[in-house]
Amino acid sequence: MRARAFLCLLSFLSLGGGAFASAPPVVPAVVTFAAQTAAMENAGVIVHERHIAISAQAGPVHFSQENDAVLLMTDGTYRHIHFTRILENGHLKSIDQMAKTEDASNDALARGNGYFKQPFDRRYLSDYAYEEEAACDCKTGQVAVRFTSALRDEQHGSGQMIVDASSGHVLSLMYTPFVFPDHASAGSVTETFGQALPGLWTIVRIDRTYSGRVLLVTGRGNVSEVLDHFHRFSDPDAGLAFYRTALLQ
């Protein structure tokens, strides 16, 4: 039972987004530029799809899940999520079961939880300490920045981001979260960025790995998350109307 609990907890995943506010002056210039660029490109209403695949094993117990969802953001902050499909261990969840998962996810967003506070998000720059890496195996024009935080909760972590100095685009983010799912004792997250729309450079893939032990049973889980089919709306009402069409699916 405990082994299965370790596996099931991997299905409660954080979103990658947050809000954008003002940056403190102590942040390195390249990080401030990245935060300004992200805030500008995420302005307005954005609707996109998310596809998650989970594969985990703890001793003889296996767990798998695939889920698809539509998400709505305003000015870089996730506001709503709607699940269109959840396939768990080969069985489709019912509409009522998906509704419970959806309600829990939206409640978390409303409370300001359920997502990682990005170190390039202007609202959270003061949460982190930064250090540019002098020795970096980077391409010309790229800068590596280490980051960490004194806030040791599930919304923060420690790692490295690679920034393109000319565009201000974050190219990749690799970190260790400070809080793992129950029964997990190690883990890492890699976020990959790309051109989602003209004028929108953002996260397009997230890969997570976790490992842990319950009594004498070791467990490991892998989670892949793909973000695609982005749409931008300058009119909030038009964006909300587009999102609501997904509720009918």
Bridge partners of 103, per DSSP, are none
Closest CA to 191 of 203, 209, 179: 203
User: C-alpha distances in angstroms, 48 versus 28, 63, 69, 122, 125?
Assistant: 31, 27, 9, 22, 25
What is the dihedral angle through the alpha carbons of 210, 213, 217, 222, rounded to the nearest 10 degrees?
0
pTM: 0.85
Residue 100 and residue 81 in contact, taking contact as beta carbons nearer than 8 Å: no
User: CA-to-CA distance for 66 and 187, rounded, in angstroms?
Assistant: 20
User: C-alpha distances in angstroms, 43 versus 22, 148, 202, 233?
Assistant: 14, 27, 12, 9
User: CA-to-CA distance for 107 and 124, rounded, in angstroms?
Assistant: 21
DSSP 125-158: GGGEEEEE-SS----TTEEEEEEEES--STT-EE
Q: What is the pLDDT of residue 58?
A: 80
Q: Give residue-wise pLDDT tens across range 152-201.
A: 999 999 999 999 999 999 999 999 999 887 778 889 999 999 999 999 99
Q: What is the pLDDT of residue 7?
A: 45
Q: What is the pLDDT of residue 16?
A: 58
Bridge partners of 208, per DSSP, are 189, 223
Residue ranges of domains in the chain: 2-246
Residue 84 and residue 70 in contact, taking contact as beta carbons nearer than 8 Å: yes
Q: From the first residue on, what is the mean pLDDT of each consecutive set of 10 residues in the chain (249 residues)?
A: 46 49 69 97 94 89 92 92 94 95 94 92 96 87 96 95 97 94 86 97 96 74 95 84 71
Q: What is the pLDDT of residue 60?
A: 83
Q: What is the pLDDT of residue 218?
A: 77
Tell me how crowded residue 243 is: count the other CB atoms within 10 A of its CB.
22
Closest CA to 124 of 13, 227, 30, 32: 32
